[in-house]
Structure 1
């Protein structure tokens, strides 16, 4: 073979030039494999040339590293093409099936991925797969006939040079990934038509760049001073059976807020979008205030995580984090405490079970039953989303089922109806929205967004009213907690809030920052529960801040204390003690029981917050909990 087909050897300059060309070609093929049209990607890249570099750079460094290992530029290119384009095709399939891109962390969930494949009708991109395999084979064939000239320096010839070259290339790839590609500020500055939708970000910024960027996300930082043995010593004294026998129903409503209470809105009494929330605040068996959630205009699952675990999304990592994606083991949670008391624990959500990996995460959080949209019958829609009214009826149905089975119920429901986008077409082209009442001068775009959003808020408030009316008639003791997951997304750069004149400035440190993260909550007990809990004394004993503000990570612990479960969990008891010092902790901002916010806590408070972070890390990484 060597005699009949001698290998043509490229010079070093031609080898480097070929590597650049091959890296660009593989990057282009990977972009072509994505669900959006290549011409739209090219248009975006031409407007933002930095994306060309950010996508081709990791591909090129990977190619060089593999070429050094395999001692062939074209063999390295073949393997690079198979890996990069193979992941790109997997990303396309996942986005089309789940509306969620491929993340590096998915590599640790291969078992779950393969088991989930059979649950979906997948249309594989046969043409893309065939082309990728054909190009891979062609590159491998070229590697047989085309090589490169050996380096002149004898010390770096052969395997020694190959290993040194591979180490240098992969080292550069790691360095570039954790610095340039991993930069959140750079990633966010590039922008996308919907920066809160990861699939859109992947489609518009390019799969190679977005995928490598994700290596620096969803991390959990080890807290300073962490000691595994010391943290294990805090896990003592768990008990069960101390709480009062009351059903607990928690409803986290999508995008629910009371922005329409601001004076800039001029609704009359008969037009009030939130009459049930306002009436319930005056109920003698109700507590109300504002819950400070971890994210602005998104991050629903992060609020779920904070409420149920008592950990804090914003403290898990210095980088932006999806808390649910850090979970891969059984964790202590509000659900698990109630389960220890013999309760039936459940989670309901009229969305897909794969989103935020909820299907697995809620099992790890101790939910005995999870019900998602695909298991709900006769779904009712308003536009593309399942209605809040349907979910109210579903909760009632499941409550009656639990009572009929002789079970006490602890349920967490996350709704979806008032999910963005708040466009005129959200509820159909002919939907007649009630008039928007405001004194602000608004653009047509903002006026439409607010009218659509306010209609969803009305339906959320109606859901609250329906549940209160239903449980008021039930003889069983029930505590209902109802709150919003985050403020609504009202346009890029908070245009809706700015035109209203509302002081909503996400991302800034200090007290003014809290307004971007506050949603209303109300905790209400029906007559039977008020009697079982001795409501007046139990509510007063919570020692809530006078304005009712509380971090989402303390809300679940407060519900455990309210229902008499102090002493059952050393973790949640600790959180309730910490809450009495600082009811709100949001990144570096602390809001004490009285007075104004401050940063840089010191002394005992600083030590307790440090313990909180260390204990959270221990639970996420090490604590073993049997199913």
Structure 2
């Protein structure tokens, strides 16, 4: 054995291994400094948690050991080092904008990220990133040409053995570390986990630990036992099922700021929420994330499923729900004749909702591209008051009862750091916007250009000088203005809720409105800062016009839908019955995990080994946009129709053309040379993605 090891670990290989070990240590130290946004804290982590630090070094070493298999060792080692440090920098940037760190799932959000990039970074910052990327590519090309090449003969078999030995050592170390609690397999708080167990381990875990692991006691017998013991309907037959319109209103970053210790407000930021909480069923929801993860709270509330059963950092919207349908509140209520709708005043493609909602049983999805007129807050997010009109129009669009899941966006970060507008605004982009606005608007609409011409700095100053503006005292000095801005946004959202309820009260139909926050905002709030609740608790209220009894209860987000339906004597759905019948029982979570695995990844024993849920033919928006006329003028082409919005774009043979929005009945484009048979339509466009389009006009057919 000793002779064999000497043959494998030659003097040259040992020297290379030591160099790689030192390099891995340096890389991990840099990454941990970025992970903690502090040079001193990075070194502190290395000294206070040496086992964890050393383990992360070994994981990096596995990747660097690939250099044993190539002659371009310097180039490959440099490339891998840049990649790892690049991940560390990416994590640092992400943590500066949200609480949850960089995970493997973020790679699936790259397409979505481009749609909100300008809301997080200004043009100068984006330009720096582009310049840095170009310089990096140029540098790597130069290194490829000039870096020294390993000239000795490579014994690939021997070197593969070295890579294998390193991998085995890390695997054994992993098992020991997990069994001794040096590392954890699952993360209750992913942000804390990245600090406790290191970026490298947590990031790799998010890469390989995806989906749900098969429970050890999963079997047809186990599912049958759950079915017979826990899923039988327990509602009283003689009790009438109530079937009101059900509106779920998920409010972006809403939490009760008055629960913060030692923070004072010039007036109650959430007067309507507090009043509703005292009069109607209310409590707190435990949501799956902090500072980000809207889609995951949404996932739990719609499906009744538990995100804790998935791997760390996963977004089911970007993984399993792209591949299959899943039982949901929408599918279950369709059994009772409900129309099912989703509304969101943000981009339709974000988190892939335009496709995922079809796999969750929704008939329609009204996203920002179908809303008009849109008013934005100073940081560029659509104000929530537009949702009143959309909810009422959706209720009117059907004869049957409706289930409407509404997702708001007004309270979204990034929040400005000071009254001078220190966020992503820059003069170049503002000037471009103003110039475009001047060219786009006709003489009759020139008055609107004055509003568009306001810079974000001016908007923020005007906003903070309003007589209704709430002042905050006692919050973190460095984040004082950002938090004050946020408080005023949720104050507006609170008023929006009151206005919505006022309109719903005028309807002659039974309505249940469930309002709740999706997660706490990104302000670095710690548990000790709260006088009540936890960092994962957001408020909820169940308002109704039916005189339902007040039954306050704190819930998990995945229990909310079942609890609402329980008040209506509705128990349709596998997980609805489980949550209603078993939530207080000892075996609740184990049965829950078995069912969820079976429904998403198993054999679907609960459904007789078939998937009973077909994707819906989801309709974007509730109206049929129409093209009625194309008029060629001297300097432009005018397109007439119905239900146009600022997101409408003229399509010529499916090519997106720069379009000027004039009114809900008119858009126009610059003069184009059209040919016999050209197909002209108008599409609702998110970036470069056409969500839907009108009927087609064939040029020259008349």
TM-score, normalized by length of structure 1?
0.65
Aligned counterpart in structure 2 of residue 214 of structure 1, from 200, 203, 206:
206
Q: Residue 493 of structure 2 corresponds to which residue in structure 1?
A: 460
Equivalent residue, structure 1, for 2:140: 132
* CA distances 1:207-248 after superposition (whole Å, capped 9, x unpaired): 866643534665534445332553277679999xx9655322
Matching residue of 2:410:
417
Following TM superposition, by how much is the alpha carbon of 1:331 offset from its aligned partner in structure 2, in angstroms?
1.6
2:523, 2:116 → 1: CA distance? 35
Which has the larger displacement, 370-379 or 173-182? Answer: 173-182
- Which position in structure 1 is the counterpart of 2:506? 473
- Cα distance in 2 for residues equivalent to 1:163 and 1:55: 21
How many angstroms apart in 1 are the aligned matches of 2:307 and 2:563? 18
Indicate conservation of the 8 Å contact 1:249/1:412, yes or no.
yes
1:553 equivalent among 551, 558, 569? 558
Q: 2:169 aligns with which of 161, 168, 172?
A: 172
Aligned match of 1:509: none
Q: Which of these residues, 229, 254, 257, is aligned with residue 255 of structure 2?
A: 257
Could you tell me how far 1:443 is from its partner in structure 2? 6.1
Q: CA deviation at 1:572?
A: 1.0
Does residue 567 of structure 2 align to residue 575 of structure 1? no
- Contact 2:211–2:320 (CA under 8 A) maintained in structure 1: no
Q: 1:606 is matched with which residue: 586, 596, 604?
A: 586
What are the residue-to-residue correspondences of 1:107-256 with 2, within 5 Å? Answer: 125-136=133-144, 142-143=149-150, 145-147=151-153, 159=157, 161-174=158-171, 211-215=203-207, 220-228=212-220, 230-231=222-223, 245-256=243-254
Q: 1:304 aligns with which of 298, 302, 319?
A: 298
Q: Which whole-Å deviations, capped at 9, do the CAs of 1:150-177 have from their partners, x for residues lacking one?
A: 7xxxxxxx73x34432321233354567
**SS of residue matched to 2:333:** helix
Alpha-carbon shift at residue 570 of structure 1 (Å): 3.2
Give the drift of 1:327: 3.7
1:587 equivalent in structure 2: none
The equivalent residue for 1:394 is 387
Contact 2:105 2:315 in 1 (8 A): no
TM-score (norm 2): 0.59
Partner of residue 523, structure 1: 542
Q: Distance in 2 between matches of 1:163 and 1:211?
A: 25
1:291-337 CA deviation, whole Å, 9 max, x = no partner?
A: 333445554333222222222233556x6765656644322111222
Displacement of 1:16 in angstroms is: 3.5
For residue 217 of structure 2, give the secondary structure of its aligned residue in structure 1.
coil
Residue 380 (structure 1) aligned with residue 381 (structure 2)? no
Change beyond 3 A, Cα 1:518–1:469: same
Alignment match, 1:335: 330
Aligned partners of 1:42, 1:306: CA distance in 2, in Å?
Answer: 30
Aligned match of 1:512: none
Aligned residues: 523
2:162 counterpart SS class: helix
Q: Which stretches in structure 2 are left out of the alignment for 5+ residues?
A: 1-7, 47-52, 119-125, 185-189, 234-239, 422-458, 605-610, 616-702
Q: SS in structure 1 opposite 2:281? A: strand
Structure-2 separation of matches of 1:183 and 1:212: 20
- Aligned residues of 1:62 and 1:80 also touching (Cα < 8 A): no
Kept after mapping to 1: 8 A contact 2:562/2:576 = yes
SS state of the match for residue 220, structure 1? coil
CA contact (8 A) 2:27 2:84 kept: no
Shift of 1:467: 0.7
Distance 2:191 2:302 in 1: 23
Name the counterpart of 2:397: 404
Equivalent-residue separation in structure 2 for 1:232 and 1:553 (angstroms)? 23
State whether residues 31 and 41 of structure 1, in contact with CA within 8 Å, keep that contact through their aligned partners in structure 2: no
On the 8 A contact 1:251/1:414 being kept in 2, the answer is: yes
Instruction: Return the alpha-carbon distance in structure 2 between the equivalents of residues 289 and 41 of structure 1.
Output: 35
Rounded to whole Å, the distance in 2 between the matches of 1:354 and 1:88 is: 30
For residues 279 and 42 of structure 1, what CA distance do their matches in structure 2 show?
41
Q: CA deviation at 1:258?
A: 3.3
Per the alignment, residue 483 of structure 1 pairs with: 516
2:15 equivalent in structure 1: 17
Q: 1:258 to 1:360 in 2, by over 3 A?
A: same
Cα distance between partner residues in 1 of 2:90 and 2:363: 30
- Counterpart position of 1:620: 600
